[in-house]
Structure 1
Amino acid sequence: MKKVGLVIVGAIAVAVLLSNLGSIVGLAISLAILYFSAKGFVKTTSLFMKFVWGTVAVIAALSAIANVPAILGLFALYLLYVIYKEWNRSKSQDEPISGDPFVNFDKQWNELSEK
């Protein structure tokens, strides 16, 4: 029953992610432009170039603000990551980890304390 719930929530998250994929790409591009324009603004000494870089930064910031729905898509991506980890965790709980030295710690501790 738990797996069915994970599949349903995962399907909804995939739909949300795919519907916001354009906004995510737009947000990434506008944040990259904003980063490089802020970096150029700090490096330059010319007043004209500071004005140019500042204008580019403001336009990129407005573009990033316009792509706020991408945050919903990023949340859906994180939710898919959590579902993937939960799916693998429930699978790994059924099988003991053979390479882990702490699996049989209690048994070994009891053997040592008896000696």
Structure 2
Amino acid sequence: MKKFVLFVGGLVALMVLLSTLGPMVFLAVSVLLLYVIFKQFAKSDSTIGKVGWVIAGLIVLGIAFSNIYAVIGVVAAYALYLIIKNWKNDKTEAAGYEKVEEDDPFKNFERQWAELNN
């Protein structure tokens, strides 16, 4: 039952991610343009140039806010990542494998000591 719920959740997250892919691209492009506009604003020496860059920045900021619902796509991508991660953990637990942290020598020692006592 858990695999079925993960599968359905993964399908829903994938459909939401694919449906918001276009706005996600436009949001990324507008954020990149805002960065370039800010850099050009900082380089500009004249007042007219700075005013022009502020106006361009406000226009691009309006475009960015119109695509703000693309954040739903980012949340769907993260949910899909978590679902895939849970799916892989279920496979290793079902096969009888035990996850062992190899960085901690005390965990390995305790596991080996328990194996020797059995």
TM-score bucket of the superposed structures, by smaller chain: 0.7 to 0.9
Question: In structure 2, do the counterparts of structure 1 residues 48 and 60 end up closer, same or farther at CA, with 3 Å as the change threshold?
Answer: same
Q: Which residue does the alignment assign to 1:16?
A: 16
Q: What is the Cα deviation at residue 43 of structure 1? A: 2.0
SS at match of 1:69: helix
Q: What is the Cα deviation at residue 110 of structure 1? A: 6.8
Q: Which residue does the alignment assign to 1:81?
A: 81
Letter in 2 for 1:29: V
Aligned length: 113
- The normalised TM-score by structure 1 is 0.83
Q: What is the Cα deviation at residue 99 of structure 1? A: 8.8
Matched ranges for 1:56-75 at <5 A:
56-75=56-75
Q: Which residue does the alignment assign to 1:96?
A: 98
Q: Which residue does the alignment assign to 1:105?
A: 109
Q: Which residue does the alignment assign to 1:28?
A: 28
Q: 1: distance between equivalents of 2:83 and 2:114? A: 38
Q: 2: distance between equivalents of 1:64 and 1:37? A: 13
Q: 1: distance between equivalents of 2:57 and 2:87? A: 42
List structure 1 segments (4+ residues) > 6 angstroms apart after TM superposition: none
**Aligned-residue CA RMSD (Å):** 2.7
Q: Which runs of 5+ in 2 are unaligned?
A: none
Identity of aligned residues (%): 40
